[in-house]
């Protein structure tokens, strides 16, 4: 097969016989990517990412899905720039994910500490309530003993009074 001299120079004809500097395959894949991106953006007017991992997956999807477009020198620079931006975004999101994970672990630790303090206070409260109940029972015993001793004292005083009166 004889090579087309225009193709060797980087010039191609499209289906409308217009002169292009982009290979037809690359041009088609670029158009497909553009359409996919447009469809994605149109379908997701408001994008909600429940976590940073979703953002990472999305960025990796778009950067990895169309790596074959980097074969064309004209598209290569733009794709390279896109991949550099996405790479920076991925690094930043990875850092944020690590920081979020660290903060999450700190929050879990603080929550566990708070739970343990609450359990300690509850145990201490139960101990104090048991001590109060014990002291109330002791107080009741002392009250009964006091009443008994008071009765004995009054009987003895009465006996002494009667003894003195008989003499």
**What are the sequence ranges of the domains in the chain?**
1-48, 49-162
**Which 8-state DSSP code applies to residue 117?**
H
Counts for the chain of helices (H) and strands (E), in that order: 4, 2
Asked if residues 47 and 34 have their Cβ atoms less than 8 Å apart, the reply is no
Tokens 């790596």, located at residue: 67
The span from the CA of 80 to the CA of 38, in Å, is 20
SS3 content of the chain, % helix, strand, coil (to 5): 80, 0, 15
The span from the CA of 65 to the CA of 33, in Å, is 9
Does the reported pTM lie above 0.85? no
pLDDT, tens digit (0-9, with 9 covering 90-100), for 73-103? 555 666 677 778 878 888 888 888 899 999 9
pLDDT, tens digit (0-9, with 9 covering 90-100), for 106-163? 999 999 999 999 999 999 999 999 999 999 999 999 999 999 999 999 999 999 999 8
């Amino acid at each position: 097969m004889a090579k087309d001299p225009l193709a060797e120079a980087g010039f191609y004809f499209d289906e409308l016989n217009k002169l292009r500097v982009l290979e037809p395959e690359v041009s088609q894949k670029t158009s497909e990517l553009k359409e996919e991106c447009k469809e994605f953006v149109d379908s997701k007017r408001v994008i909600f990412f429940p976590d940073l991992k979703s953002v990472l997956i999305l960025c990796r999807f778009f950067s990895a899905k169309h790596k074959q477009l980097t074969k064309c020198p004209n598209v290569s620079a733009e794709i390279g720039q896109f991949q550099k931006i996405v790479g920076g975004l991925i690094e930043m999101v990875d850092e944020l994910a690590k920081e979020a994970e660290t903060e999450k672990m700190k929050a879990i630790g603080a929550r566990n500490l708070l739970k343990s303090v609450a359990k300690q206070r509850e145990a201490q409260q139960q101990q104090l309530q048991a001590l109060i109940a014990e002291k109330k029972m002791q107080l009741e015993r002392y009250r009964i003993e006091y009443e008994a001793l008071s009765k004995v004292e009054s009987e003895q005083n009465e006996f002494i009074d009667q003894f003195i009166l008989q003499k």
